[in-house]
Amino acid sequence: MRNPLTWLRRNLVVIAGLGTLAYMILPNVVVTVFSFNNPTGRFNYAWQEFSLDAWKDPCGVADMCGSLSLSLQIALWSTLVATALGTAIAFALVRYRFRARGAVNSLIFLPMAMPEIVMAASLLALFLNMGIQLGFWTILIAHIMFCLSFVVAAVKARVLSMDPRLEEAARDLYAGPVQTFVRVTLPIAAPGIAAGALLSFALSFDDFIITNFNSGNTVTFPMFVWGSAQRGTPVQINVIGTAMFVIAVLVVLAGQMVGNRRKKAQPK
């Protein structure tokens, strides 16, 4: 560290990268800090004084925890359905040659290559024209639709990198098709399926644009937050935001620890 200028130039990438990371983490820090705020007035945008009230009573706001549990239900159901349908599509695309394969590939890709608002608006056009009541079911239908492509992409990537000889070996050892699938194929594809499921849970839970168009009077958690930006933001929103961040970090870290242990247990 003789010349500070040389040191700066050598570590430019590290400094710039950490700067970006700070930019990305800053709002989470603000959300966490403001969850301990005791704001005056309806909005929680300026710091007043330290308080634990919101953490003691996270569900103390009318309708907030109801919207949270609704979002969780929708996210769970759409993850379940989208993962099942998407995994089947991914296997068909990777493992079989059939007519219309190109068309299917483009159909899967299109929802990801389109601004979300276009899909949101067109679904609304369908529901309006068919006179379908907007609510829980229309939200669920929409979420399954846009999560599907992401599951296919995640599972496809994993199945593509899988060695087909492992399944051949299983068949050579007289495993039936079901046994081969359950004992060999599924465990190898599992990380891809898990990644797809996790992604679709996060996407569904956090979706605002498509839900905004197709929810009618039903209020999911993002809809609640959106409404609160107009009516007044309770501190409890920050509590939930902080808790979600902490839980996400813990889940990801736990997942990685399990992955590392597996890797150590069976060296390749």
Partner 1 sequence: MTTTAAPPQAPASTEPPVHKASLRKRLVPYWLLLPGILWLLVFFVLPMVYQASTSVQTGSLEEGFQVTWHFGTYWDAFTEYYPQFLRSLLYAGTATALCLLLGYPLAYLIAFKAGRWRNLLLVLVIAPFFTSFLIRTLAWKTILADGGPVVAVLNNIGFLDVTSWLGMTEGDRVLATPLAVVCGLTYNFLPFMILPLYSSLERIDTRLHEAAGDLYARPATVFRKVTFPLSMPGVVSGTLLTFIPASGDYVNAELLGSTDTRMIGNVIQSQYLRILDYPTAAALSFILMAIVLIMVTIYIRRAGTEDLV
Contacts with partner 1 in 59-88 (CB under 8 A)? 85-86, 88
Q: Which of 113, 163, 217, 268 touches partner 1 by CB under 8 A?
A: 113
Quote the CA–CA distance of 45 and 49 in Å, as a whole number.
12
Q: Which of 169, 182, 252, 258 touches partner 1 by CB under 8 A?
A: 252
Stretch of residues binding partner 1 (CB under 8 A), selected from 7-15, 58-66, 162-170, 184-192: 7-15
What is the nearest approach in angstroms of partner 1 to the Cβ of residue 38?
15
- Kindly state whether residue 34 participates in binding partner 1, applying the rule CB under 8 A: yes
- Kindly state whether residue 28 participates in binding partner 1, applying the rule CB under 8 A: yes
First to last CA, the chain: 42
Site string for partner 1, 147-186 (x = CB under 8 A): -x---x----------------------------------
Quickly list H helices, the chain.
4-10, 12-34, 53-56, 64-95, 101-109, 116-130, 136-160, 164-172, 177-180, 186-206, 209-214, 221-231, 235-265
What is the nearest approach in angstroms of partner 1 to the Cβ of residue 170?
18
**DSSP secondary structure letter of residue 111:** G
Q: Which of 8, 18, 52, 182 touches partner 1 by CB under 8 A?
A: 18
- Kindly state whether residue 254 participates in binding partner 1, applying the rule CB under 8 A: no
Q: Are the C-beta atoms of residues 200 and 78 closer than 8 Å to each other?
A: yes
Q: Which of 52, 76, 126, 166 touches partner 1 by CB under 8 A?
A: 126
What is the nearest approach in angstroms of partner 1 to the Cβ of residue 109?
5
Q: Which of 45, 63, 137, 161 touches partner 1 by CB under 8 A?
A: 45
Nearest Cα residue to 31 out of 246, 241, 255: 241
Instruction: State the greatest distance between any 2 C-alpha atoms of the chain, in Å, as a whole number.
Output: 74
- Residue-wise burial string across 6-16, b where 16 or more C-beta atoms lie within 10 A, e elsewhere: eeeeeeeeeee
Question: 3-class DSSP state for residue 63?
Answer: coil
Pick the closer one to partner 1 by CB: 107 or 186: 107
Question: 3-class DSSP state for residue 110?
Answer: helix
Distance of CA 83 to the CA centre of its chain: 12
- Kindly state whether residue 202 participates in binding partner 1, applying the rule CB under 8 A: yes
Quote the CA–CA distance of 148 and 126 in Å, as a whole number.
19
- Kindly state whether residue 24 participates in binding partner 1, applying the rule CB under 8 A: yes
Nearest Cα residue to 139 out of 222, 244, 66: 222
Pick the closer one to partner 1 by CB: 34 or 184: 34
Per CB under 8 A, contacts with partner 1 among 227-246 are 229, 233, 237-238, 240-241, 244-245
Per CB under 8 A, contacts with partner 1 among 210-229 are 212-213, 221-222, 225-226, 229
- Kindly state whether residue 119 participates in binding partner 1, applying the rule CB under 8 A: yes
